[in-house]
Structure formats: structure tokens, C-alpha cells
Structure 1
Amino acid sequence: MILTINGKEKEIKEGLNLEEIMIHLEMKDKVMAAAINMEIVKKEQWNRLKPQNNDKLELLQFVGGG
């Protein structure tokens, strides 16, 4: 399936939940917040929610700086 992740189209295996997608992208330990189609997804739902073809995901990471 095709997902838009942080503004870039990516082909991802169908049937994966949000947490599995983050693992596939090697981002799971870095993501602090996630949204699908502009709706915030609680962290407790990451392992249950399965994005659909053409969904838009925003995987947000906090970056420190100074």
C-alpha cells in the first residue's frame, strides 16, 4: 500500500499496524507522537491501529537544541 509519511510517499506492506510501520522504518524508539490523516493517535493504540492505503501519517520526533 502507499502511505504518505512525513510528506513523502512510501510503499509499505499491507496489514501492518502503526507500531510495526515505525519498526519497519527504524523509527519506533524515536517517535514521540503520531497522527493519521491529521488525527492524533494515542501511544496505546499504535499496536492496534492499521493505516489504510493513501493515508497520511505524521510521525513526530522531538529534537533538542540550543
Structure 2
Amino acid sequence: MRLTLNGVLLDADAVTLHDLVGPLPDGHAAAVNHEVVPRAEHARRLLADGDVIEVVTAVAGG
């Protein structure tokens, strides 16, 4: 299926969000189609052709 990950179009065999991004380190979050997916749901969140996935890193600062 064709997915967009952080702005990059790719062909992937991933079925779930976890299949695509694996376990994310602390301070990272993932969203599918502009909806944040809680870490506990990554293995259950099914992906579909055309989904847009963003993985972001929280940065502390002042």
C-alpha cells in the first residue's frame, strides 16, 4: 500500500502503525491522518492505502 511518512511517499507492507514505526522511544508521538494515536494503540491501529503518518519528537526548551 502507499503511505506518506513524515512527508515521504512510500510503498509499505505494514498492516498496523506498530509494523511501520516500531516501538517509539520516549518523547516521540505518532499521528495518522492528523489524529494522534496513543502508544498503547499502535499495534491495533490498522493502516489503509493513502494514510498520512507523522512521527514527531517533543523538544523541551524555553
What RMSD over aligned residues (CA atoms) do the two structures have, in Å? 2.1
- Please give the TM-score of this superposition, normalised by the length of structure 1: 0.75
Determine the structure 1 residue equivalent to 2:18.
19
The Cα shift of 1:31 comes to 6.9
Q: Deviations over 1:21-66 (max 9, x none)?
A: 113xxx744771010000111111001001100010001134679x
Aligned pair count reads 61
Greater than 6 Å deviation, 4+ residue runs: none
User: 2:44 and 2:25 mapped to 1: Cα distance?
Assistant: 17
Structure 1 or 2: larger strand share? 2
- Please give the TM-score of this superposition, normalised by the length of structure 2: 0.79
Tell me: CA distance 1:54–1:30, structure 2 relative to 1, closer, same or farther (3 Å).
Answer: farther
Structure 1 unmatched ranges of 5 or more? none
Structure 2 unmatched ranges of 5 or more? none
Identity %: 28
